């Protein structure tokens, strides 16, 4: 056996990440490889906690409910085969809505791989854990890292890496939750629908390559205005792509649009903030340091907003 149990239970935590330059669509074939590079920020205030222990047979429990999750099971089976591991019981809990556009799969698979690594003393490097996490969710590759993270092709391999430490540019995030229920079409299915049916898919891929290069420069130079322009445009292009899919992918609700309008009003008033929205109705307002609480207070008063969460940038996945 390559890996051997260390303690009775290993516990890991990971945070979801919010893509500023988004990917939507994967390359055909195995490996869960995205079609385009992406850039994200890790969000400290939202956390997935995962426990792994050896067991007589595999089991998965998510948010207190037994689940037959095929993606989680596939990743567990792949790591068991690669490292000759025994069956294991996986228990995962999110302190935020699951499957609702807040990147629970990213934090979930990052925490899972980190817990398995710790439980069986595999001593995987962050890059290796990231590669394993990507098998479950491409975005999970970025949640292994904190601060600003990228997922891109480097020397012929798709790898994630930290672009800038969270303390080097401590942006803040105000998350406006407008619906806590699971989204109607999961991201993987939605991506494939867009790839195969949208007339704008190829243009999306080409423009995202340009956005990625420009955004990386904006982050390394701490240019807030530049990253705001790029991130909002990437978000709006993403949802245009979704809307042009057949059948259309509509993840927004009226409160989503109302929050976007509120962010626009804040911008006009001089507040350094921009919005981004993933495959779901939640709006993330990214702010310059010191503005998160005020922005959250404004967004919390928008009709239809269930609650707000204010956060700084988070660390990478870790054992606790």
**Residue 217 and residue 283 in one domain:** yes
For the stretch 46-87, pLDDT in tens is 999 999 999 999 999 999 999 989 999 999 999 999 999 999
**Residue 113 and residue 37 in one domain:** yes
- What pLDDT was estimated at residue 265? 99
CA distance 249 to 243: 5
Q: Is 206 exposed, middle or buried (0-12, 13-18, 19+ CB in 10 A)?
A: exposed
**Residue 80 and residue 179 in one domain:** no
- What pLDDT was estimated at residue 2? 54
**Is 1's pLDDT higher than 50?**
no
How many structural domains does the chain have? Answer: 2
Q: Per-residue confidence at 36, pLDDT binned at 50, 70, 90?
A: very high
**Residue 212 and residue 102 in one domain:** no
- Contact yes or no for 280/6 (Cβ under 8 A): no
**Residue 157 and residue 14 in one domain:** yes
Kindly report which listed range (5-19, 225-239, 245-259) carries the lowest average pLDDT score: 5-19
**Is 259's pLDDT higher than 90?**
yes
**Residue 140 and residue 213 in one domain:** no
Structural domain that includes position 65 = 10-167
Looking at residue 244, which CATH number applies to its domain?
A: 3.30.70.890
Among residues 146, 167, 188, the one where a domain terminates is: 167
**Residue 297 and residue 163 in one domain:** no
- What pLDDT was estimated at residue 292? 98
**Residue 149 and residue 237 in one domain:** no
Q: Per-residue confidence at 4, pLDDT binned at 50, 70, 90?
A: low
* Assigned domain for 318 exists: no
**Residue 143 and residue 202 in one domain:** no
* Assigned domain for 5 exists: no
Looking at residue 127, which CATH number applies to its domain?
A: 3.30.230.10
Helix axes 126-136, 104-119, angle to 10 degrees: 130
**Residue 184 and residue 160 in one domain:** no
- What pLDDT was estimated at residue 48? 97
What is the pTM assigned to this prediction? 0.94
Among residues 167, 190, 219, the one where a domain terminates is: 167
For the stretch 295-310, pLDDT in tens is 999 999 999 999 999 9
**Residue 152 and residue 210 in one domain:** no
Q: Per-residue confidence at 6, pLDDT binned at 50, 70, 90?
A: low
Q: What is the mean pLDDT of residues 227-246?
A: 98
CA distance 42 to 95: 15
């Amino acid at each position: 056996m390559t890996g051997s149990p260390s303690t009775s239970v290993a516990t890991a935590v990971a945070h979801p990440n919010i893509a500023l330059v988004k990917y939507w669509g994967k390359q055909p074939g195995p490996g869960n490889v995205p079609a385009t590079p992406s850039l994200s920020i890790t969000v400290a205030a939202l956390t997935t906690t995962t426990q792994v222990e050896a067991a007589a047979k595999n089991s998965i429990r998510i948010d207190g409910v037994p689940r037959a999750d095929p993606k989680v099971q596939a990743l567990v089976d792949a790591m068991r085969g690669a490292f000759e591991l025994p069956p294991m019981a996986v228990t995962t809990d999110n302190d935020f809505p699951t499957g609702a556009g807040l990147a629970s799969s990213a934090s979930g698979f990052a925490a899972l791989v980190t817990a398995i690594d710790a439980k069986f003393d595999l001593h995987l490097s962050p890059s290796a854990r990231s590669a394993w996490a990507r098998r479950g969710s491409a975005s999970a590759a970025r949640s292994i890292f904190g601060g600003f993270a990228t997922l891109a092709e480097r020397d012929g391999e798709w790898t994630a890496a930290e672009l800038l430490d969270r303390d080097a540019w401590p942006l803040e995030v105000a998350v406006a939750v407008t619906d806590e229920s699971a989204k109607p079409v999961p991201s993987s299915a939605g991506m494939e629908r867009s790839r195969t049916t949208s007339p704008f898919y190829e243009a999306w891929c080409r423009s995202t390559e340009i956005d990625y290069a420009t955004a990386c420069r904006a982050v390394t130079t701490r240019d807030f205005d530049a990253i705001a322009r790029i991130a909002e445009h990437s978000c709006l292009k993403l949802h245009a792509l979704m809307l042009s899919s057949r059948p259309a992918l509509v993840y927004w609700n009226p409160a989503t649009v109302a929050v976007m309008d509120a962010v626009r009003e804040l911008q006009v008033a001089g507040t350094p903030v921009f919005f981004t929205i993933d495959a779901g109705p939640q709006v993330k307002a990214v702010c310059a340091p010191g503005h998160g609480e005020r922005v959250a207070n404004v967004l919390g008063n928008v009709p239809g907003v269930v609650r707000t969460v204010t956060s700084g940038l988070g660390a990478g996945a870790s054992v606790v």
